[in-house]
Amino acid sequence: MKWIHIIAGLLAIASGAIALYATKGSPLHRKSGTMFTIAMLFMTSSAAIISLFLRTDHVNGVVALFTAYLVCTAWLVTKRTVQENRVLLRGLAIYALLLGAYALSLWFNFLADPKTLVTRSGPPQALLVFGILSLLCSALDIRMLWAGHIAGAHRLARHLWRMSFAMLIATGSFFAGQMQVFPAFIRKSAILGLPVLVIPVLLVLGTMLYWLGRTLIKRQRAVLKPPAMHN
């Protein structure tokens, strides 16, 4: 299981980087995006099994389950309409709602008694962050289901931020969360004052914000553009 997680994680980061920087909608973007989706599902499912059943690490288990949800919902929005995926999307919205409630319950239990989390778990604060994010995502899903459709810039933005955020989690988990696997000289190296291992994470974050901004600005321009005059 450990090697499945490692191999899937490396494939996810490599294919995700290609998809992130490739021209959106191009064959390279679609193929690398498909590879990223498959690799991420293998990586997150193996991480959840290891964390929740083999190590009792509820923090990383929650993060893995949330990341899998992001990838699934991001992928679905590009494949079919809301009506065609209504049952599955409703199930994913409930999944996110329950996951958020579970994460927050673990957080409040930790506040009451820190011993409820094993010492080798991830940072407990992640339970609060990902619990809130999961509930917010569920609310967005419910809003979309209520509307019955999603199109245009909103559809692209949903796909972009969810896939990119999943990539951000994977990149951060590898480069910042597994520093011990890198040689000492890499861990101690810095560029312009920034640790080398933090730079890939910042690049993913910056690229995500760039594409989101570009998508939403285009939408705003389209809304404000005056209608064409006809003689």
Average pLDDT of the chain?
87
Q: Which of 88-102, 106-120, 214-228 is least confident? A: 214-228
What is the percent of the chain where pLDDT is above 70? 92
List pLDDT tens digits, range 23-39: 888 899 999 999 999 99
Beta strands in the chain (DSSP E): 190-191, 194-195
* Angstrom distance (rounded) from CA 146 to CA 82: 10
Mean pLDDT, rounded, for 125-145: 95
Q: Which two tokens stand for residue 91?
A: 């199930």
Contact 141, 92 (CB under 8 A): yes
List pLDDT tens digits, range 35-91: 999 999 999 999 999 888 887 788 999 999 999 999 999 999 988 889 999 999 999
- Of 93, 5, 8, the C-alpha closest to 49 is 5
Give the distance, in angstroms, between the CA of residue 127 and the centroid of all CA atoms in the same chain.
15
pLDDT of residue 225: 55
Beta-carbon count within 10 A of 20 CB:
24
56: left (phi over 0), alpha (psi -120 to 50) or beta: left
List pLDDT tens digits, range 171-186: 998 887 777 777 787 8
Query: At 229, is the pLDDT very low, low, confident or very high (cuts 50, 70, 90)?
Result: very low
pLDDT of residue 119: 58
pLDDT of residue 227: 53
pTM for the full predicted model = 0.88
* Angstrom distance (rounded) from CA 6 to CA 186: 20
pLDDT of residue 113: 87
Q: What is the DSSP code string of 21-86? A: HSPTTSHHHHHHHHHHHHHHHHHHHHHHHIIIIIS--HHHHHHHHHHHHHHHHHHHTTTS-TTTTH
